[in-house]
């Protein structure tokens, strides 16, 4: 595992105020930054770290889906976007492996995708989660929310 040492690097504009998800976004951001740094030189690209990033994204998507399930939010459309994201990112990585795409191109794509994922998918998701939690708290003041 690559040591990233980039704690607190996620730009404020990308925070969505769901601590578990913000922490995962921070991890993804740091991994992409670390890969950019690692690929800057002329040495071999750390392909295992790219695979590890894709695995981590799968874990991240599963976390978002679990939170949606716990909160009772309809996540079908968002889950479909996650599946498409994984397909596109895996395809881009397979192109790196077969030599038809370079690592920098992959990383530019991953960076662009990541910001879009937060701004277009996760910010509205976080707003829905907050709304449900707020309504739950207002409707049942004696019962502590379990989430
Ligand atoms: Fe996310």
CATH of the domain at 89: 1.20.120.50
Tell me the CA–centroid distance for residue 121 and ligand 1, in Å.
7
> 127 in a domain, yes or no?
no
Q: What are phi and psi of 62, to 5 degrees?
A: -60, -35
Tell me the CA–centroid distance for residue 49 and ligand 1, in Å.
19
90 is in which domain, residue-wise? 18-117
d(CA 4, CA 33): 8
Tell me the CA–centroid distance for residue 64 and ligand 1, in Å.
7
Tell me the CA–centroid distance for residue 43 and ligand 1, in Å.
31
d(CA 57, CA 18): 17
Q: What is the mean pLDDT of the chain?
A: 90
Domain count, the chain: 1
> 106 in a domain, yes or no?
yes
Tell me the CA–centroid distance for residue 62 and ligand 1, in Å.
10
Cα dihedral 8, 75, 131, 72 sign = negative
Percent of the chain with pLDDT over 90: 80
pLDDT attached to residue 5: 46
Tell me the CA–centroid distance for residue 44 and ligand 1, in Å.
29
> 110 in a domain, yes or no?
yes
Q: Is the pLDDT of residue 141 over 70?
A: no
> 144 in a domain, yes or no?
no
How sure is the predictor about 4, in pLDDT bands with cuts at 50, 70 and 90?
Answer: very low
How sure is the predictor about 61, in pLDDT bands with cuts at 50, 70 and 90?
Answer: very high
| Mean local confidence (pLDDT), 94-102 | 95
Three-state SS at 144: coil
The CA distances from residue 47 to 38, 93, 101, in Å, are 10, 9, 13
> 4 in a domain, yes or no?
no
> 8 in a domain, yes or no?
no
Tell me the CA–centroid distance for residue 21 and ligand 1, in Å.
6
> 49 in a domain, yes or no?
yes
How sure is the predictor about 135, in pLDDT bands with cuts at 50, 70 and 90?
Answer: confident
Nearest alpha carbon to residue 103 among 28, 27, 31, 50: 50
> 78 in a domain, yes or no?
yes
């Amino acid at each position: 595992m690559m040591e990233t040492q980039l704690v607190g690097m996620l730009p404020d504009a990308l925070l969505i105020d769901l601590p578990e998800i913000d922490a995962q976004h921070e991890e993804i951001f740091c991994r992409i930054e670390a890969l950019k740094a690692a690929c800057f030189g002329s040495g071999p690209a750390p392909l295992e770290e790219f695979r590890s990033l894709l695995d981590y994204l799968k874990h991240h998507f599963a976390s978002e889906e679990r939170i949606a399930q716990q909160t009772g939010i309809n996540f079908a459309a968002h889950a479909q976007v996650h599946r498409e994201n994984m397909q596109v990112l895996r395809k881009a990585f397979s192109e790196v492996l077969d030599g038809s795409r370079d690592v920098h191109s992959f990383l530019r794509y991953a960076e662009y995708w990541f910001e879009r994922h937060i701004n277009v998918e996760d910010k509205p998701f976080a707003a829905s989660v907050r709304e449900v939690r707020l309504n739950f708290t207002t409707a049942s003041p004696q019962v502590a929310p379990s989430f």
